[in-house]
Structure formats: structure tokens, C-alpha cells
């Protein structure tokens, strides 16, 4: 089983739609979680961290479910510019603080 798993998609949605991605992780001791965004032929960039209580940044909401070992990203009122690959990132070993593991990514295409 992979340490971090995501549905690769693609998710094709119309502008204005709400879309949600899930990501599961295997190490129950993981402590840090993030969502990164990667545009085609570009480097990944931090979208948002994921906090235990859940957090929101504009149209983006991230949630953590420790019991089921998954994190989610909700995008409301999607824009054409949201088209990208969204990468789930987990610190897989809390005693090894630098070891961030990336999921395969979920591709989102927002259509006019």
C-alpha cells in the first residue's frame, strides 16, 4: 500500500461548481499535512496546510479526519484558473520531521 494515495482523476467540472478531493495516508502517527498545487510543467507550490480543526482560505477548505486517516480539499465556486493537479502531502514520520511524502496528485479541469 502506498503511504499517500489519491484518486488521480481527472475531475472535469464546470465553472462555479464545488469539487472535493480526498487523500488517504497509511501512517497513523503522521502529524503534518498539506495540499500543494502543481500547474502543467511547473513546480509544486504550497496551497495550504491542513490543521486538525480544519481550515479555510477563501474558496478552499481543508479537513483532516485522523480516525479514518484521510484529508480532504474542497473548492467552492471553481474558476478556470483552478485547473491544475492537487497534491496531498504528509509528513510520514513525525520523528523524522523532514520526510514529506507526496501523493500522485488529482487533476482538476474546470470548463467554461
Partner 1 sequence: DAGVIQSPRHEVTEMGQEVTLRCKPISGHDYLFWYRQTMMRGLELLIYFNNNVPIDDSGMPEDRFSAKMPNASFSTLKIQPSEPRDSAVYFCASSFTGNTIYFGEGSWLTVV
Reading the block at residue 77, the C-alpha cell is: 465556486
Rounded-to-integer distance, Cα 108 and Cα 19, Å = 9
Contact characters 3-42, partner 1, x per CB under 8 A: -----------------------------x-x-------x
Q: Of the ranges 11-19, 57-65, 74-82, 98-106, which one interacts with partner 1 (CB under 8 A)?
A: 98-106
Minimum CB separation from partner 1 for residue 36, in Å?
9
- Among 24, 49, 26, 27, smallest CA distance to 36 is for 49
104 binds partner 1 (CB under 8 A): yes
Minimum CB separation from partner 1 for residue 18, in Å?
26
Minimum CB separation from partner 1 for residue 81, in Å?
20
- Strands (DSSP E) found in the chain: 4-6, 11-14, 19-25, 33-38, 45-50, 55-57, 60-65, 70-75, 84-91, 100-102, 106-111
Question: Which residues are near partner 1 by CB under 8 A?
Answer: 32, 34, 42-46, 49, 87, 91, 96-105
Amino acid at each position: 500500500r502506498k503511504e499517500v494515495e489519491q484518486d488521480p482523476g481527472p475531475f472535469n467540472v464546470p465553472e462555479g461548481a464545488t469539487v472535493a478531493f480526498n487523500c488517504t495516508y497509511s501512517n497513523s502517527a503522521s502529524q503534518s499535512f498539506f495540499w500543494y498545487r502543481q500547474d502543467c510543467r511547473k513546480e509544486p507550490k504550497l496551497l495550504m496546510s491542513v490543521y486538525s480543526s480544519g481550515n479555510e482560505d477563501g474558496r478552499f477548505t481543508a479537513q483532516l479526519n485522523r480516525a479514518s486517516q484521510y484529508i480532504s480539499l474542497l473548492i467552492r465556486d471553481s474558476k478556470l484558473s483552478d485547473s491544475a493537479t492537487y497534491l496531498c502531502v504528509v509528513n510520514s514520520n513525525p520523528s523524522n520531521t523532514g520526510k514529506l511524502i507526496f501523493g500522485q496528485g488529482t487533476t482538476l479541469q474546470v470548463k467554461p
